[in-house]
């Protein structure tokens, strides 16, 4: 998913209103893709909400750990500093 995809999915998950950039091609394409993949469903009037699959994916995204920085040697092992 792109940052745009994630932003639009979040909007559909938390807002009962149409997306503020709903006329933008990128938003239209993402809404179509999210709907085709079963993450959101159309309510009408330009409004969308997350499906159970979309809700599960939001939980998955929100549950990701923060990235950590590490130095890795040529052998693929983390070098402890």
- pLDDT per position as a tens digit, 10-39: 999 999 899 999 999 999 999 999 999 999
What is the pLDDT averaged over residues 56-75? 95
What is the pLDDT averaged over residues 39-66? 96
Asked if residue 81 has pLDDT above 90, the reply is no
Q: What's the confidence (pLDDT) of residue 16?
A: 83
Instruction: Locate 27 and state its tokens.
Output: 């938003």
How long is the chain? Answer: 81
Q: At what angle do helices 25-36 and 3-14 cross, to 10 degrees?
A: 70
Please state which architecture CATH assigns to domain 3-70.
Answer: Orthogonal Bundle (1.10)
Question: Residue 5 and residue 53: Cα distance in Å, rounded?
Answer: 15
> Taking the domains of the chain in order of start, what are their residue ranges?
3-70
Burial 13-39 (b: 16+ CB within 10 A, else e): beeeebbeeeeeeebeebbeebbeeeb
Q: Whole-model pTM?
A: 0.83
């Amino acid at each position: 998913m792109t940052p745009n995809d994630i932003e639009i999915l979040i909007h559909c998950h938390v807002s009962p209103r149409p997306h503020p950039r709903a006329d933008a091609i990128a938003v239209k394409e993402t809404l179509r893709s999210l709907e085709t993949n079963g993450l959101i469903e159309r309510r009408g009037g330009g409004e969308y909400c997350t499906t159970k699959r979309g809700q599960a994916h939001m939980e998955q995204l929100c549950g990701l750990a923060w990235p950590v920085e590490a130095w890795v040697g040529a052998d693929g092992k983390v070098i402890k500093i």
